[in-house]
Each structure stands twice: as C-alpha cells, then as structure tokens.
Structure 1
Amino acid sequence: MQRNKSIKCVAYDKELLKFLRPVDISQYLRVNGWEHVEDIGNKGAVWKWRNEAGEEAEILLPLDRSLSDFVNRMAELLHTLEAVEQRPRQLIINDLFAPNRYCQPTSSDIE
C-alpha cells in the first residue's frame, strides 16, 4: 500500500515541476552554496556544489520551459538536491515555490 502512495507522489511532483521558474531555482542554488559555472546557450546552465570534505555535485538547470525534456531535467535536478541536502523532496519543492523564504536580504534591499 505504501508503494502506491510513493508512485502517486512522484507523479504529482512531476506535474508540479513544469511550473518551476528557472530564475527562482538559480536564486535558490546561489543562496545554498552552488556555483554557476557554465551556460549552454539559452537552454541550460551548469551549477556545481562542493562541501568542505571535497564531495561534489553538478546540476544542469534547464532555462527554457518549452523544451520537451524540461520536466525530466527538473526531476533530475530535484533528485540531486535531495541527495546533497539530505532533505525530503517535498520540503525542497516547497522552498523552490517560495523563493522569498530562502532569500537573504542584500544591502540594497535594506536601504
């Protein structure tokens, strides 16, 4: 019975992923220690993460929501974030849909 709930949850996640905005994900990655290292035209951006122990991860962030594999790429991105952050998928999705929750104010925001 639990297995069916997991399958439904994953399908629900994929449906939600098509509504994620790449600009919000870029902001989330930056705030959480990821480094933007390369653009792939106007279709994608490569981000890398490294911790103090030298562990690394890489994400390909799709930038064009009209791409046929946008949802699949977002699912891969989310899977990587789950592994790196060691947090449940739903908490990460909640953060990605509420970018102001994790945004750190800059000096220009305070003035």
Structure 2
Amino acid sequence: MKAIISDVNILNQLQPQQLEIYLKAKGWREHSRIPEKVSIWIRDTYSEDKLKIQLPIDNNFDDYALRISEILEILERAENRSQIDILGELIANYPNLTIQGVVTQIMTPPNSDILSGKITLLGIVFDKMQEIKVELANHEYVTAIKAYQERLAVACTGDLMKENNVFVLKNPRKFQIENI
C-alpha cells in the first residue's frame, strides 16, 4: 500500500530551507533559480532519470502544499522510499499537535522535591510508530504514572520537535488518559 501525504497543514509546515538542506544531503543540486519564485533541483549522479524538483521559495504561495506534495512524490520515486519515511526525516517541528500513544518509560529525577519527570510515549507520528520524549509536572505527571502502571492509552497536545533525531513534545498540555 502506498501512502500519499495530503494533509495541507503538514505540507505547509515544511519550510523551503528544510527541503534545501534535505535535497543537498541526498545528492541533489540547485540547477537554476527564478528569484522570489522557485528553485530547480537536479541529481547529477542519476542523470539518466531526468528527475527535476521545482521547490517554491516562498511558502506563502497559494499552491505551496500542492507543490510540496509533488516534491514528496518525486522523492518517493527517486529514493524508492515511502513519503512517510521521507517526511519523518524532513519534519523538524510541528506546533500544536495531539499525540496519542502509551507511556513506555517514566524517569523521575532522584531527590526531587517537585513532582515532575520525563516520560517516553510510543505514539503515531505521521502514520509511523515513534518514541516521543515529554517532560511533565504535577497532576499531568501523576496521570502519566497511572497510565504507565495500568497500560492505558493517553493523549497529549504540544509542539513536536525533532532534536538529535529524537522526537520531543515541548509545551505539553491536556495530558490525559484516553477513553477507549
């Protein structure tokens, strides 16, 4: 089954600079540029494939999400990988995202007077199971401990970031046990 990323919000989160860094790392080079509009990327190492990426320079264009979707389709063919895998590498942050999952680890700092700690969630990020680190305090941390002990599903909203290839949910809020 082939997954196609069509969520406009996700596609609009991808910044042109992120895509440029990714393309350079994967052996693409900028062939030409139309100022303030688009940059054209090609792969020298695979000249026979004649693949060309037209990367919008401004993410405020009306059809920006459509253009990014087209880029993901080209990369999927070029790399023989799913769009979900490619997107997982591209996403550096996604604000105000709700993650559902289970608590797989609780890390309480020793000798702490404050009821807080770090947890690890196993949740779905862009249709793929991922570990997500979250720092919680007070009632939300107690809820996480209960969910961990009783193996209950949870949900939490926050700003998803990727730090050193690890997903981290910053500014967590609405941490709660899910009613299944």
TM-score of the superposed pair, with normalisation by structure 1: 0.74
**Matched pairs, number:** 95
Alignment counterpart, residue 67 of structure 1, candidates 38, 61, 66 = 61
Q: 1:40-55 maps to which residues of 2 (within 5 A)?
A: 40-52=34-46, 54-55=48-49
- Identity in percent: 28
Q: Report which structure shows greater RCO (CA 8 Å, sep ≥6).
A: 1
Secondary structure at the aligned position of 1:54 is classed as helix
Going by fraction, where is helix more abundant, 1 or 2? 1
Q: CA RMSD in A?
A: 2.4
Relative to 1, partners in 2 of residues 1:83 and 1:52: Cα closer, same or farther, differing over 3 Å? closer
CA contact (8 A) 1:50 1:56 kept: no
* Greater gyration radius: 2
CA contact (8 A) 1:46 1:58 kept: yes
Structure 1 runs, 4 residues or longer, greater than 4 Å off: none
Offset at residue 52 of structure 1 (A): 4.9
Alignment counterpart, residue 38 of structure 1, candidates 28, 32, 49 = 32
Secondary structure at the aligned position of 2:48 is classed as coil
Unaligned runs of 5+ in 1: 102-111
Going by fraction, where is strand more abundant, 1 or 2? 2
TM-score of the superposed pair, with normalisation by structure 2: 0.47
In structure 2, the partner of 1:92 is 86
